Amino acid sequence: MDFQSTLFQFILPSQCPCCEEFLEEGQGGICPKCLSEIHWITPPFCTICGIPFISEEVENHPCGACITYRNYFTMARALGTYEGILQAAIHRWKYEGKTSLTPFFGEWMAEGLKRYWTPDFFDFLIPVPLHIERLRERGFNQALLLAKEISGRTGIPYRKKMLQKKKSTPPQVNLSGAEREQALRGVFQATEEEELLGKSILLVDDVYTTGATVNECSKVLLKGGAKRVDVLTLAHAVKNY
């Protein structure tokens, strides 16, 4: 480390982007304490949506929700549960502009992808799109940032215009799964259908909450000609299991 870098670090020492605690000299990235507090998803979990089960004494199997409702995607997987430090980190990233977290999230998701699929299984990565109004408000599409990072680490090309959100929707945070499904009907549109025809797609987003958004996107992509759609998210909400 040169003198200028050392001086800069002394004046403005690095902080963990999750908890904002100052890091030791020479240490970068997310602090070990925060990493140790993330609840990473491991078996047993639902073979379809990937939600983890409370009991560790069962085998992987479809959860009740996936048995009851039709999912258009084949398989969804997430890295961690949407709670605690991971939830706080995602909030800082999305709503407070902590974009320094993007490379870490992208690296985690690229490794997660390789855990469940081989990179050559997919033709394209497609991020869940934002409507132009929300994009202007936030300044970036978090799903697109993740898709770019995963693409750079796996070699799978991403396509940001194959799926568009043509209608604006109100915030869905307080809506039930059925209400979200209704609100999202007819919102997304597949484009470039000739290039989409017969392709295997990995849909990328930050959080799987009820699955309504990724399911609607998957339905539209399949209707547009895709052969198969799978889903990868950074986190999976667990309040409903």
74 and 165 share a domain? yes
Strands ordered across the beta sheet of 124-127: 76-81, 228-236, 200-208, 124-127
154 and 230 share a domain? yes
- What is the per-residue pLDDT for 205? 97
- pLDDT class of 13 with cuts at 50, 70, 90: low
Averaged pLDDT, 172-188: 75
85 and 108 share a domain? yes
90 and 28 share a domain? no
* pTM recorded for the entire structure: 0.88
CATH number of the domain encompassing residue 101: 3.40.50.2020
Q: Does the pLDDT at position 9 exceed 80?
A: no
Report yes or no on 4 lying in a domain: no
Residue pair 200/173 in contact (Cβ under 8 Å)? The answer is no
How far apart, in Å, do the first and last CA atoms of the chain sit?
48
Q: Does the pLDDT at position 3 exceed 60?
A: no
For 131-156, the pLDDT digits (tens) are 888 767 777 789 999 999 999 999 99
Mean of the per-residue pLDDT values for the chain?
A: 87
Report yes or no on 95 lying in a domain: yes
Half-sphere exposure of 27 (CA within 13 A, CB side): 11
141 and 22 share a domain? no
Total domains in the fold of the chain? 2
Positions of E strands within 14-106: 76-81
144 and 27 share a domain? no
- What is the per-residue pLDDT for 4? 40
166 and 47 share a domain? yes
103 and 185 share a domain? yes
Averaged pLDDT, 180-192: 85
Percent of the chain with pLDDT over 70: 88
Report yes or no on 209 lying in a domain: yes
113 and 162 share a domain? yes
Report yes or no on 79 lying in a domain: yes
Longest dimension (CA), the chain: 62
107 and 210 share a domain? yes
Q: Does the pLDDT at position 241 exceed 80?
A: no
Report yes or no on 181 lying in a domain: yes
Report yes or no on 130 lying in a domain: yes
Task: Please give the structure tokens belonging to residue 130.
Answer: 């934002």
- pLDDT class of 68 with cuts at 50, 70, 90: very high
CA distance 127 to 137: 18
Report yes or no on 67 lying in a domain: yes
15 and 106 share a domain? no
Domain that includes residue 101, residue range: 39-236
Element (H, E) at 233: strand 228-236
For 19-57, the pLDDT digits (tens) are 778 877 655 678 888 889 999 999 999 999 999 998 888
- pLDDT class of 177 with cuts at 50, 70, 90: low
Percent of the chain as helix, strand, coil, to the nearest 5: 40, 15, 45
207: closest CA among 119, 110, 108, 83?
A: 83
Report yes or no on 1 lying in a domain: no
Lowest mean pLDDT of 92-96, 124-128, 218-222, 237-241, name the range.
Answer: 237-241
104 and 16 share a domain? no
